[in-house]
Amino acid sequence: MSCVYDPSRVTLIDHPLVQHKLAIMRSVDTGTKQFRELVRELALFEGYEATRDFPLEDVAVTTPISETVCRRLSGRKVAIIPILRAGLGMVDGMLELVPSARVGHLGMYRDEVTHEPHEYYAKVPADIEQRICLVVDPMLATGGSSIDAIKYLRRQGVQDIRLLVLVAAPEGLAAVEQSDPQVRIFTCAIDERLNEDAYIVPGLGDAGDRIFGTK
């Protein structure tokens, strides 16, 4: 598996607070409640960067002192697309940033032996092709799940897709870039590699199990 990716297509969120929170998340000693809170908080930080170029328009505002012209979001519609299950952990943080966003769900699980993704659920807003889609999933390992999610959205006619993960493997970054020449990727960490079970090293283990306490 090639792990050569183009860094210019990847935004690494290396803010000190992000690195601090990620260090706590990675620890095997961090329990479910704190892990879940940290996923939500990191989604907020990452969403802040991923929405940095959202278009603005002028709006007249009367302050208690005078009239002025301010800037507000110019109404581009947004959809947050969590990849089930672990992506659900990032939704609340994203909705705090963009409360008017719609949420579409894509269900994928990795076969534990082949590591291939299997799609089991898809429900997205009817006007999805008009929306900026922020695909959220804490982990980008082989890239299989994200690639399938992005392909699904392209088939629905979505133009602007941004993939937000918390931890990425170089192999996954390369695979997503190769599969889709337009998608922009945001991550809080780029780790060393995948192990023989296609888990990210050092990673943080199974994100879904840690968010939902299923192991």
Q: What is residue 44's three-state secondary structure?
A: helix
The stretch among 18-26, 30-38, 67-75, 205-213 that binds ligand URA (CB under 6 A) is 205-213
**Amino acid present at 162:** R
Q: Which of residues 170-199 bind ligand PRP (CB under 6 A)?
A: 172, 198
Residue number closest to ligand PRP, CB atom: 208
Smaller CB separation from ligand URA, 128 or 141: 141
- Counting every residue written for the chain, the total comes to 215
Distances, alpha carbon 92 to alpha carbons 43, 87, 113, 127, 201, in Å = 8, 10, 32, 22, 27
Question: Has 209 been annotated as catalytic?
Answer: yes
Indicate whether 108 belongs to the interface with ligand PRP (CB under 6 A): yes
Q: Please tell me whether residue 108 binds ligand URA under the rule CB under 6 A.
A: no
Query: What residue 80 binds from ligand URA, ligand PRP, none (CB within 5 to 8 A, per partner kind)?
Result: none
Binding pattern for the stretch 46-85 against ligand PRP, x by CB under 6 A and - elsewhere? -------------------------------------xxx
Catalytic residue among 40, 85, 110, 162: 110
Q: How far is the CB of 79 from ligand PRP (least distance, A)?
A: 18
* From 17-25, 63-71, 152-160, 197-205, span contacting ligand URA (CB under 6 A): 197-205
Of the residues 139, 149, 150, 153, which one makes contact with ligand URA according to CB under 6 A: 139
State the Cα angle at 190 between 106 and 110, rounded to 5°: 35
Q: How far apart are the first and last CA of the chain?
A: 29
* Residue that has been written with the tokens 């009817």 in this structure: 126
Q: Could you give the angle at the alpha carbon of 97 between the alpha carbons of 95 and 100, nearest 5°? A: 55
**C-alpha–C-alpha distance, residues 25 and 29, integer Å:** 9
User: Which one is catalytic: 71, 72, 114, 127?
Assistant: 114
Among residues 169, 163, 160, 165, the alpha carbon closest in space to that of 194 is found at 169
Residue pointed to by tokens 């060393």:
192
> How far is 194 from 210, CA to CA, in rounded Å?
19
Residues in contact with ligand URA by the rule CB under 6 A: 86, 139, 141, 199-200, 203, 206-208
Residues in contact with ligand PRP by the rule CB under 6 A: 83-86, 108-110, 115, 117, 137-146, 172, 198, 206-208
Residues with a known catalytic role: 110, 114, 206, 209
